[in-house]
Structure 1
Amino acid sequence: MIKNPHGKLSLLSFLLLLITHVGLCQNFTKTNTGIKTSVDGLTVEVQFFNSRIVRVIKAPEGTSFNKQSLSVIKTPAATPLQIQQQGNAVLLKSEALQVALDLQTGKVAFSNLNGGLLFTEKDYGSQFTAIKDVNKNTYSVRQAFRLDKDEVIYGLGQQQNGKMNQRGQKVFLRQDNTKVCIPFFQSVKGYGVFWDNYAPTTFLDNPHETSFDSEVGDGSDYYFLYGGSADGVIAQMRDLTGQAPLMPLWVYGFNQSRERYRTQYELLNVVKKYRSLKVPLDGIIQDWQYWGKDSNWNAMSFEPSTYPRPKELIDSVHQLNAHIFFVAWPGFGPNTPQYKELKEKKMLLNFETYPPRFMSTPYDVYNPMARDIYWRYLDKGVFSLNSDAWWLDSSEPDHSNLKESDFDLPTYLGTFRSVRNAFPLQHVGGVYDHQRQSTSDKRVMILTRSAFAGQQRYGANTWSGDVHSNWETLRKQVPAGLNFSLCGIPYWNTDIGGFIGEGFPKGAKNPEFQELYTRWMQFATFTPMMRSHGTSIPREIYQFGNRGEWPFDVQEKFINLRYQLLPYLYATAWDVTSHSGSIIRALYMDFVNDKKVYDIDNEYLFGKSFLVSPVTDKGTTTQSVYLPAGAVWYDFWTGERTDGGKAVDKATPIDIIPLYVKGGSIVPWGPKVQYAEEKKWNNLELRIYPGADAAFTLYEDENNNYNYEQGKYAEITFNWNDQARTLTIKDRKGSFPGMLSTRKFNIVLVNNQNSKTITYKGKEVTAKF
């Protein structure tokens, strides 16, 4: 302490001491969810939504930041916290993690309970640049973080970059055809980060930092999700942004499409042809122009000359035990009543979308009244005829003749720039919500081309867009789909054969296209939706040749395989709905201790049992497959057992892809059928792959309504004790109308001569091998 000659503290020294003391003991306020303070000209708030989800908000002092998230539907839960100040830091501790806020630099860091650093911002890592977003004073917002040097991350939506690990990149996140942009990533360290901003955003990762930089934002707003594993992160993301409802059983079968069926008779004859050939089929998709001329684009009504009796068409498809999708777009041609009504009410976004030459214009998806109008026409023109599913095309949307000034257009929620990337979320959500309000007797099924965080709650399956028909593109679909799923959105698919099938003379009879299409179909067999579609080349199975010719026979083989996997796939889908599971799984999700799998981009798990290695190179006759350590593996085709932790070479004639089953798996095997609900599962084969203990829960319900939400479903759990060589079938849990009371299970021990048949009446039984 400095004193003056008279032994008294000088005023200057006192003020200096006071300023120093205040600097060292920066004030903060405890809130119901965490703390709030001011640091370096910013208001900083740390909010715990539960013990594992933390929201961090930063905004310039003197501004208000009141945002209703479009993605996040969770509200903060009461979370016990220990809060204490340690020097220039405030430490917040929940039962799962610790968060430290530096009161001098504003840096927020996240650690586990042992103090191990998980994730951290950079010092002074928040940057706000004042801008004018049309008539509003706001900011461009940038937040920088630091990752470990060799840390592997996944996510960013669906990027066509062919990469599994998303480190070392600069990615402009703005929705586009084939490019789904989600500002989210998760780390092999067991955490995820969601940057809750809807403006075009640049993701950057280099040796110095990792950052999100958004063109518009009133504040920096992100969520840290600590799951401890990939499944845990996804569970937290679903808790934050919504759970994924169960889709109807039929949609997990095979679905046929074309750009496009031109009359109702052409479409119906495709279904009839599949039935006459006895090739399984469940869904048929009606693409654009069933409404007539492009000036009448998306009229949500039927052109009388080509679709004279649409109700009869739908009824006929149903009589053939199939289901029908109808396409709908977010833009309307100028001759449609929708266009005229929405324009009169100033609910159009005044830029061009597809098809541009007819000035098709999208509606303001952010406006709830506009979403009401959209559904009113869709319901009256199509859904009231008893249609089954939607194809919401161009949900990015397509943006023709793009001008930067288009992003200045007003929407219900602000400028288009400020909400750009949330367009598919709002559009798809409007259709889902309205159909759910209309009926619970038919599950919502939406096939769509774009997505944003939270879209899993809307019964949507996103496809990878208008990709090209070539081998390089096929290879890129594997990491694209896996990274998309790792963002917490479990339903994804791709056009079998690629959409743009140009450069193949003779089309489906061209041997080069036949090989590409067949390999693409084999991949699609092991994705959440198996769907054939494309332009230029019709892709129905009979276009490729006749039964007895390899292109037909191999396709039929894999379509049949898909249907026999339905009990396994439907149970996996139930795990998605009930336990935040995933259908396609990056290898690291189940083998985090094997670092060799972290950047494998051409293998994945289908459910938790099947390892799939799609053939993605022309002319491949042998493919090297890495089998992760920590498990034994069975060649699906031969039953041969191999220890994990090494690569094996697998012969790949045109009717084979490398497919392995993890030891310690129980796989229910369904009957051969022509459509998903043709036969009850009263005589299932249970394939047991020994090598470890195993468990599997068979799930059944009424297949296409929401009664399961009221508990009308049944589960049967199977447990395999590997040491005792005993299978226990537990008591059935639950019930639903039409449930089987008695059934048989034919139990097969793979790679063993033993098999047993058990009659099951809902009570526990065992079988010893």
Structure 2
Amino acid sequence: MERVVDGPQAASWATGITKAMDLRGQKIEMIVKPTTSIYAPFYLSSRGYAVFVKGTWPGLFDFAAANPNRVKIEFEGPSFEMKVYTASDPATLVRTHALDAGPPFMPPKWMFTPWRWRDEHTQRPKYYDGTPVTAPFNSEVMEDVLLMKAYGIPNGVYWIDRPWGPGLPWGYDDFEIDEKRLPHFAEMVKWLEGLNSKTLLWIAPFFQGQMEKQALAKGYALAGQRRPANGNNYPMVDLSNPAAKAYWQDGVAKLLKLGVAAFKLDRGEEDIPDNGPFKLFDGRSIRENRNAYVAMYLKATYNIASKFRGHDFVLMPRGAYTGSSPYGVFWGGDIGGTQEGLRASIIAVQRSALMGYPNWGSDTCGYNQQLLEQEVCGRWLGFSAFTPIMEVGPTRNVAFWNLPREPSYDPELIAIWRLYARLHQRLIDYSYKYAQEATKTGMPIVRPLFLVDPKSSAAWVNWWTYLYGQDILVSPIWEKGKRTQQVYLPSGDRWRDAWNPDKIYPGGQTITVNAELHQIPLFVRVGSSVKLGDLNQEWQESRAIAAKKPDLKTLDAELQAWFENRPNGM
């Protein structure tokens, strides 16, 4: 919740559509809701101040909706505390709040590699092209990993969503692995490690299987939870109860012992009781816990993960509120796969950055099951390369080589994926440097233009353009059919067009650039040490590689031979 609250109306977005970064005229409920759920009781005004409301009780911000001259703040609870920051520049306000509410979590460097995932892995007898599966692991994991390697698409995190355990419909019983779905799981994790790829699993803050029976018998579930809740039948853990928390953590520990290095923390903001005469084990009301729960869930996972892995792990919750930022990284939830979903993600990465959540990514090409649109997906791949987390999935549980449309094998999307995954990989050290800065100073990695050039009115309006770190300017295109983009270049520097390196522009102006589907408008600050490489040459190489289907029969046989002759301990 960021800017131009009581500033000039001219900075607003067009009538009839959500106003992008500007929340003037809107009312925002401060209660964590599914399924795009990162919140902070903080807002920044273009008048040079910011407000941070302490605590976790639900509330409401009225940004000049009821009264055009007034911002109204209402929160429940027995007391009210807020901080008002003032500064001559918005960056100081953002940094100060980020450190007050954090400091933000410092991820390991491997988090900044490209990720791949599917929403549901099945075990199939054949690969997408009909080649019989003989190698030992899950067929879809192998298909993804073998083909990414063949195409030269780097992958540093492989994410397995639910179901991965026994039990229906969730596949989450007792934190055990379903060996029919994921055969030789521990060996698969080690195989991925050998390819410099970490394993991420989905988890949730509830019990199933035999653990569910024990948890209910011992009173470990949240009081007041309706069962079944929204058609689901699971008790959520009362994380204020030390014994209940430890019992749930013991389940997570099983997975850590198998070598799992990262977790997607789902469902923390969903199906939580938030009203009635119920209290937590520690005596707090269930209403006060509504926003606090997502941070409690994250911290409980952080504590058990750090016991097993030190600082070498990543936790990525869907929901967040004050208290979350020191313990995890974040993604944009279950966003639609339309051009509007991409637009919302371009806004969300900037909002998250300003709210103190600097490490963020989105489900590239969207989560919901719309037919994958080539143009939206191609643009999204370019955008995701310039967010801290580039996660490509779930892509309808298929891939760009077997889409449920024609062309089923899409060499254009494969080539775009390769181009931007390799570019994202080359930026690992750069991204890590600015993540360190975010942790130490509060300055986010993604920087809306007004954060770095607040005296320019254009910087407050051109919301689709932002800085990635100090030296890279990116301007994602979200509208289908669009092949040009207006880009504001921040004043005080000169900017080199990454696609046309001979073109250098002085800052402090808005320019129009051409951008084909594979091209995201991209500029590098003149004088910086950033080397993006020859993007046009890499695009041509990617097209040539994507045009030829890899030989899965040979790749499968090589993996099977490796498995049969693997070293001891694998």
Deviation at 1:517, TM superposition (A): 0.9
Which of 28, 42, 46 is residue 171 of structure 1 equivalent to?
Answer: 28
Deviations 1:730-759, CA, capped at 9 Å, x for gaps: xxxxxxxxxxxxxxxxxxxxxxxxxxxxxx
CA drift of 1:558 comes to 1.1
Letter of the 1:390 counterpart: F
Q: Quick one: distance in 2 between partners of 1:330 and 1:605?
A: 36
Aligned residue identity for 2:294: P
Q: 1:536 to 1:669 in 2, by over 3 A?
A: closer
**Would you say 1:383 and 2:256 are equivalent positions?**
yes
Aligned match of 1:370: 244
Q: CA deviation at 1:364?
A: 1.6
CA contact (8 A) 1:397 1:423 kept: no
- Report the 3-state secondary structure (helix = DSSP H, G, I; strand = E; otherwise coil) of the residue aligned with 2:231: helix
On the 8 A contact 1:171/1:203 being kept in 2, the answer is: yes
* 1:402-456 Cα distance to aligned partner (Å, 9 max, x none): 8x75x5432235222122112211100111122223342x523012211112322
Contact 1:164 1:601 in 2 (8 A): yes
For residue 585 of structure 1, report the CA deviation from its aligned partner: 0.7
Aligned counterparts, 1:200-211, within 5 A: 200-206=58-64, 207-211=68-72
Give the Å deviation of 1:290.
1.0
**Is the helix fraction higher in 1 or 2?**
2
Question: Which whole-Å CA distance do the structure 1 matches of 2:504 and 2:166 have between them?
Answer: 57
Is 1:635 the equivalent of 2:497? yes
- 1:575 maps to 437
Q: 1:554: which partner in 2?
A: 416
Deviation at 1:294, TM superposition (A): 2.8
Contact 2:350 2:447 in 1 (8 A): yes
Tell me the equivalent position of 2:312: 443
Structure 2 alignment gaps of length 5 or more: 124-136, 536-570
Q: Decide whether aligned partners of structure 1 residues 268 and 561 sit closer, same or farther in structure 2, where only a CA change above 3 A counts.
A: same
Give the paired residue count: 505
Question: What aligned pairs does 1:249-264 form with structure 2 within 5 A after superposition?
Answer: 249-263=109-123, 264=137
Residues 1:593 and 2:455 aligned together: yes
Amino acid at match of 2:427: L
Partner of 1:331: 206
Correspondence for 2:363? 495
CA distance in 2, matches of 1:153, 1:375: 47
The structural deviation recorded for 1:328 is: 0.4
Partner of residue 526, structure 2: 663
In the alignment, which residue of structure 2 is the partner of 1:520? 380
C-alpha root-mean-square deviation of aligned residues, in Å?
Answer: 2.9
Report the Cα offset of residue 613 of structure 1.
0.8
CA distance in 2, matches of 1:668, 1:569: 13
The answer as to whether partners of 1:204 and 1:211 remain within 8 angstroms in 2 is: yes
The one of 341, 346, 350 equivalent to 2:215 is 341
1:435 to 1:153, Cα distance in 2 relative to 1, 3 A: farther
SS across alignment from 1:667? coil
Alignment of 1:302-321 (within 5 A): 302-321=177-196
1:65-110 alpha-carbon deviations (Å, 9 max, x no partner)? xxxxxxxxxxxxxxxxxxxxxxxxxxxxxxxxxxxxxxxxxxxxxx
Match of 1:272 among 139, 142, 146: 146
Per-residue CA deviation, residues 671-726 of structure 1 (Å, 9 max, x unaligned), is 99xxxxxxxxxxxxxxxxxxxxxxxxxxxxxxxxxxxxxxxxxxxxxxxxxxxxxx
Q: 1:584 aligns with which of 436, 446, 458?
A: 446
Q: CA deviation at 1:358?
A: 4.3
Correspondences of 1:41-80 after superposition (within 5 Å): none
Distance 2:227 2:303 in 1: 25
**Following the alignment from structure 2 to structure 1, what is the Cα–Cα distance between the partners of residues 201 and 181?**
15
Query: Which secondary structure state, in structure 2, belongs to the residue aligned with residue 304 of structure 1?
Result: coil
Q: Secondary structure at the match of 2:379?
A: helix
Structure 1 residues without counterparts, runs of 5 or longer = 1-145, 155-159, 508-512, 673-769
* Cα pair 1:173 1:200 within 8 Å, conserved: yes
Q: Report the counterpart of residue 288 of structure 1 in structure 2.
A: 162
Q: Are residue 473 (structure 1) and residue 341 (structure 2) matched?
A: yes
Match status 1:213 vs 2:74: yes
Task: Give matches, 1:695-714, under 5 Å.
Answer: none
Any idea what SS the aligned residue of 2:154 has?
coil
> What secondary structure is seen at the aligned counterpart in 2 of 1:284?
strand
Residue 545 of structure 1: how far off its partner (Å): 7.3
Aligned AA (1:332) = F
Q: 1:652 aligns with which of 504, 515, 528?
A: 515
Does the residue aligned with 1:347 lie in a helix, a strand or coil? coil
Aligned to 1:428: 298
More strand by share: 1
Q: Deviations over 1:273-306 (max 9, x none)?
A: 2223322111111101111223665331112332
- Identity level (%): 23
Q: 2-side partners of 1:588 and 1:520: how far apart?
A: 23
Report SS of the residue matched to 1:556.
helix
Q: Are the structure 2 counterparts of residues 261 and 609 from structure 1 closer, same or farther at C-alpha, using a change threshold of 3 Å?
A: same
Shift of 1:392: 0.7
Distance 1:162 1:387, change over 3 A: farther
How far 1:469 sits from its partner (Å)?
A: 1.0
Determine the C-alpha separation between the residues in 2 that align with 1:449 and 1:456.
12
Offset, 1:665:
2.6
- Residue identity in the other structure for 2:156: D
Q: CA–CA distance in 1 between the matches of 2:263 and 2:451?
A: 32
Q: Give the TM-score normalised by structure 2.
A: 0.81
In the alignment, which residue of structure 1 is the partner of 2:42? 184
Q: Provide the rounded CA distance (Å) in 1 between the counterparts of 2:343 and 2:101.
A: 30
From the superposition, tell whether residues 320 and 664 of structure 1 become closer, same or farther in structure 2 (CA, over 3 Å): closer
Query: Which residue identity lines up with residue 290 of structure 2 in the other structure?
Result: R
The residue type equivalent to 1:558 in the other structure is: Y
Shift of 1:528: 1.0
Distance in 2 of aligned mates of 1:352 and 1:654? 48
Distance 1:487 1:152 in 2: 24
Please tell me whether the aligned partners of residues 331 and 354 of structure 1 are also in contact (alpha carbons under 8 angstroms): no
**Taking structure 1 as reference, are residues 304 and 247 closer, same or farther at Cα in structure 2, changes over 3 Å only?**
same
* Aligned 8 A contact 1:449 1:462 in 2: yes
Structure 1 residue 453 corresponds to structure 2 residue 318: no
- 1:456 counterpart letter in structure 2: S
The 1-side partners of 2:234 and 2:410 are apart by 47
1:413, 1:152 → 2: CA distance?
48
Distance, in Å, in 1 between the alignment partners of 2:497 and 2:246 is 52
The offset of 1:191, in angstroms, is 3.4
* CA distances 1:226-249 after superposition (whole Å, capped 9, x unpaired): 454333223322332322232122
TM-score (norm 1): 0.61
Distance in 2 (alpha carbons) for counterparts of 1:548 and 1:304: 32
Helix, strand or coil at the partner of 2:485: strand
Mapping 1:5-84, distance limit 5 Å: none
For residues 617-661 of structure 1, give each alpha carbon's deviation from its aligned partner in whole angstroms, at most 9, with x where no partner exists: 001122222223333222111121112333222111111111112
Native 8 Å contact 1:331 1:353 kept in 2: no
**SS of residue matched to 1:172:** strand
